[in-house]
Amino acid sequence: MKPHHGPPFFLDRLQPCEFPDVALALTEPDGLLAIGGDLSSAQLLAAYRQGIFPWYSTGQPILWWSPNPRAVLIPGQIKISRSMGKTLRQGKFRITFDTCFETVIANCATSRKDGRGTWITPEMQSAYIRLHIEGYAHSVEVWQDDILVGGLYGISLGSVFFGESMFSLASDASKVALIYLASQLQHWGFKLIDCQVQSSHLATLGAKAISRDEFIAQLTMYVGQPSRIGKWQLDNDLAQPIQIL
């Protein structure tokens, strides 16, 4: 299919939960596919199943994206540096899953120094909190002396975890969250973590950029597998950092 060079598609002209083919996403800005629609659970889950996610700022209409290339992480291939291994062995962090989702997403919305957290609008927070209540959205929490110092959240469908955002109030806390998540996902048989857009932070942990076509091919294989819906809990045999190394 030829790349689409015109304006993005308007979802109000399509059927509910219907999206254009991701191959029609714009090349500039990279991956912009559609405008409008809503943030209902059905709309969001339909988007993720097709490799699409919302990203827009306050005052903008809802914008839907499917960038090319796509950053992904294989759960069993996460990289742990020597210094990170030392941090894990020190055991100064305690990790939980799904204990305070609303607090995690609120921190992700406010703690980003680069300003990218501003896209997690109150409307977005409400939508993902609703998905959490429905058992599709999950959080990882990192605690130090019973204080929440880091975490992440995302969506789980089939054997794919779609990472949305992370925050860190202590050195390496968000990396620790991702390491524990990847370890648990590997234990559960997950095949892919979608990181959306590559960054140096993610690259140090083993994330790699693949073409959108390759990403969609993998998504098609894995997203239809049985989903782990409901509240998540870190397995006991993964609770000690040394078990990850």
DSSP characters for 151-197? EEEEEEETTEEEEEEEEESSTTHHHHHHHHHHHHHHHHT--EEEEES
* Start and end residues for every CATH 3.40.630.70 domain found in the chain: 71-244
Look at residue 185 in the predicted model and tell me its pLDDT. 96
**pLDDT band per the 50, 70, 90 thresholds, residue 5:** low
Q: How many angstroms separate the CA atoms of 79 and 82, rounded? A: 10
Task: Read off the pLDDT of residues 24-49 as tens digits, 9 standing for 90 and up.
Answer: 999 999 999 999 999 999 999 999 99
* Start and end residues for every CATH 3.30.70.3550 domain found in the chain: 9-67
Task: Read off the pLDDT of residues 91-132 as tens digits, 9 standing for 90 and up.
Answer: 899 999 999 999 999 999 985 544 444 679 999 999 999 999
Look at residue 244 in the predicted model and tell me its pLDDT. 47
**pLDDT band per the 50, 70, 90 thresholds, residue 147:** very high
List of residues 6+ apart from 210 with CB closer than 8 A: 69, 70, 72, 218
> Which residues on adjacent β-strands are paired with residue 89?
none
SS3 call for 150: strand
Q: How many angstroms separate the CA atoms of 105 and 153, rounded? A: 7
CATH number of 9-67: 3.30.70.3550
Task: Read off the pLDDT of residues 76-87 as tens digits, 9 standing for 90 and up.
Answer: 999 988 888 888
Q: Tell me the residue length of the chain.
A: 245
Under 8 Å between Cβ of 33 and 52: yes
- CATH classification of 71-244, choosing from 3.40.630.70, 3.40.50.720, 3.60.40.10, 3.50.50.60? 3.40.630.70
